[in-house]
Amino acid sequence: MDLDRTMKRLARDLAYRTPLRDRLGVRYSYRFTPAQLAYLCDCLSATRDVPGCVVEAGCSVGSTTLFLSHHLDAEEIEKTYFAVDTFSGFRDEDLEVELRTRGKHPEYYRGRFTQNDQRWFDHAMTRAGITRVRSVAADVGGFDYATLGPVSFALIDVVFYRPVKRALPGIWEALSPGGMIVVDDFHEDDSGAMSGAGQAYREFVAERGLELRRVNREYGLLVKERVEARVARVA
């Protein structure tokens, strides 16, 4: 064991003498701020007793998946966690809608997240000791969320209009009463280049007559009302 630790230390010391040193050491690997991650954890805790699974639509390499799964483990919340992603980057159709229909220029995202693989994602979960996560290779906007059973909490983390617009109805229908959906990238208006998710959220809320709620700086929140809450409100 001592020899093993010594060899690992030598290997690291050698790596630090090469350009690999920029890849080593502690790095913050999340797109979300600590406060935003904490809010997602609060949502998971708040929906502990709501029947159904957890869904992350758009998971990339799985940093947020890993973080939230550890929270579920720590809080002893026994739910299956489905991570839905193409695992090959954004679809051309989604980029074209941004460019030709919405008049945006999402070139920054063209080609991003293509260096991903479902096998790598699954291996990362296994290596971290996470057993609740099930990866699903699919178009976020075209997937049938009803096949997952009821949903208690969903995070939609896809920046473009088309996949969010198409995913919201299916996830909402699968959502249990008392369940929550968080849509990332919901900004104050839809004028920015990366405002597609926010526009899709605004339209969905308007179409369903739901409450528009912007929380934690850039999350759009949806909460499915329980039957007893509706009865009490009418009474």
Q: What is the DSSP letter of 163?
A: H
| Bridge partner list, 175 | 151
Residue in the block written with tokens 């104050």: 188
**C-alpha dihedral sign at 10, 13, 18, 20:** positive
Length of the chain (residues): 235
Q: How many other β-carbons are positioned within 10 Å of the β-carbon of residue 100?
A: 9
CA distance 154 to 151: 7
Which helix (H) or strand (E) is 125 found in, with range? helix 118-127
**How much is the pTM?**
0.83
Which helix (H) or strand (E) is 83 found in, with range? strand 81-85
The torsion defined by the Cα of 172, 176, 182 and 183, in degrees rounded to 10, comes to -10
CA distance 81 to 62: 12
One of 3.40.718.10, 3.40.50.10070, 3.40.1710.10, 3.40.50.150 is the CATH number of 28-234, namely 3.40.50.150
CA distance 113 to 59: 10
**For the chain, give me the number of helices (H) and strands (E)?**
8, 7
What's the pLDDT at 105?
66
Residue in the block written with tokens 């080593």: 24
Domain parsing of the chain, residue ranges: 28-234
Helix axes 63-74, 34-46, angle to 10 degrees: 50
What does each of the 235 residues of the chain score in pLDDT, given as a tens digit? 577 777 777 776 776 677 766 666 667 778 889 999 999 999 999 999 999 999 999 998 899 999 999 999 999 999 999 999 999 877 878 877 777 777 776 565 555 555 678 999 999 999 999 999 999 999 999 999 999 999 999 999 998 889 999 999 999 999 999 999 999 999 877 766 678 899 999 999 999 999 999 998 899 999 999 755 544 444 4
CA distance 218 to 55: 19
- Compute CA 149 distance to the chain's CA centroid, rounded to the nearest angstrom: 18
What's the pLDDT at 234?
44
What's the pLDDT at 31?
85
CA distance 115 to 110: 12
